[in-house]
Structures are given as C-alpha cells and as structure tokens.
C-alpha cells in the first residue's frame, strides 16, 4: 500500500492505527457491566444506606429527596455519589424536585470538596444502564470526583492500584463537618 492509498483508508478500518484518542484499557471493569452483576432491588446499596447510621452508610448529607454518600470504591479520595432516595434507574424518571436537589447537592459537594481538599477540578457524571457502565444500574446516582493537577501517576495503569491517601471514614467525617459550614 502506498502513502496515497494509506491516507484514504479510515482509521477505523485499520486496527491499531494511531489516532487522536488516548485509550486506557480496563478489562477489570467488565465485572460491572456483565449480565447478572446487578444487586436485586431489595439489596440495593443506595436504598439500604439511608436506613443505616451515617458512618455505616458512608452518608455525608441527607436532603429532602436526595442524599450524598462516599463511593465505597472511589476513583479518588473524596469521590462522592448523589442519589435520590427513591429507587429509579434513569434521570428522565426523576421528579423535578429530585432533579433540582441532585443539582444543588452536586454544587454543594463541589464547594465542600474544594474547601477541604483544594481540588482543582471535578469529573461529574452519571452512567445510566448496564450498557453505559453503571455499577449499580437500577438506582440513579451522580458521581462527583475531585481532581487535582498531576493527580495521576503510574499506579492505576502499571500496578493496577489506586493510591488513596486517606481512609474513607476520615474523609467522610471531614466532608460531613464541612457540609454545614460552607454556604
């Protein structure tokens, strides 16, 4: 194949050809998206958490129609989840009140995390449905992941390890205390 023929072939037809996308292969995430990995409705961790003490449920704030808790398997220290109390799977099923409170709690989570950890940015998002990669697909939840300049290192890629400098409960306590101090 000469250079002219090569440039006419789209990248998607030539596996392994460099393009503008960086890819991080994470086959260990398949456990979250394979059939049958979702908990039954009566074992939904987001339905069970509000019935527990805040420390046991990892809850940092309880609102009227939604609450905020620590992610048990955080991507970064301070990784929060904003969930409606009601067991619903997608954003379009949420009531206007739930949507509004999820938005307000997300904003507040960002302010609190900036204050207590000096985060420089955030990844915020919802994976809705198993096909979209939701670990718990049947209960809507929004991720709020604090990020810092230069927070990535070789551990996640090479050593398949995420360095979390603080224990979940220590971070939960700091966030819960700061929640009511930050306007």
Q: What is the pLDDT of residue 116?
A: 94
- The band of 42, judged by pLDDT with boundaries at 50, 70 and 90, is confident
Delimit the domains of the chain by residue range: 26-179
- pLDDT over 60 (residue 159): no
In this predicted structure, the answer to whether residue 127 has a pLDDT above a threshold of 70 is yes
Q: Which of 79, 139, 141, 143 is catalytic?
A: 141
**pTM for this entry:** 0.74
Q: Residue 40 has what DSSP assignment?
A: P
Beta bridge partner(s), residue 180:
none
Is 180 an annotated catalytic residue?
no
Token pair 């000096």 is found at 118
What sign for the dihedral angle of Cα 91, 97, 103, 105? negative
pLDDT at 38: 60
Q: pLDDT band for position 145 (50/70/90)?
A: very high
67, 83 in Cβ contact below 8 A? yes
Reduced to 3 states, what is the DSSP secondary structure of residue 14?
A: coil
What's the alpha-carbon Rg for the chain, to the nearest Å?
19
pLDDT in tens, 11-22: 545 455 555 555
Lowest mean pLDDT among 49-53, 145-149, 175-179: 145-149
Q: Between 57 and 15, whose confidence is greater? A: 57
CA geometry: angle 147, 74, 125, nearest 5 deg? 65
99 has a pLDDT exceeding 80: yes
- What's the CATH number of domain 26-179, 3.30.390.10, 3.30.428.10, 3.40.1360.10, 3.30.1280.10? 3.30.428.10
Out of 89-103, 110-124, 161-175, pick the least confident: 161-175
Least confident of 10-24, 46-60, 126-140, 159-173: 10-24
**Three-state SS at 100:** helix
- DSSP 8-class letter at 139: S
> pLDDT-derived band of residue 129, with 50, 70 and 90 as boundaries?
confident
DSSP 113: H
């Amino acid at each position: 194949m000469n250079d002219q023929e090569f440039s006419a072939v789209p990248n998607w037809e030539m596996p392994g050809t460099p393009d503008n996308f960086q890819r991080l292969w994470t086959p260990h995430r398949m456990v979250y998206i394979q059939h049958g990995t979702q908990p039954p409705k009566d074992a939904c961790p987001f339905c069970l958490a509000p019935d527990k003490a805040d420390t046991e449920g990892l809850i940092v704030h309880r609102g009227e129609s939604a609450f905020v808790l620590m992610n048990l398997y955080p991507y970064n220290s301070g990784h929060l989840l904003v969930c409606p109390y009601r067991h619903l799977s997608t954003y379009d099923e949420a009531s206007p009140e739930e949507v509004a409170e999820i938005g307000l709690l997300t904003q507040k989570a960002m302010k609190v995390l900036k204050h207590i950890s000096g985060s420089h940015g955030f990844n915020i998002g919802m994976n809705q449905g198993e096909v979209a990669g939701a670990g718990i697909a049947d209960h809507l939840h929004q991720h709020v992941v604090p990020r810092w300049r230069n927070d990535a290192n070789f551990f996640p890629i090479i050593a398949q390890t995420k360095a979390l400098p603080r224990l979940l409960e220590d971070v939960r306590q700091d966030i819960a205390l700061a929640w009511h101090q930050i306007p």
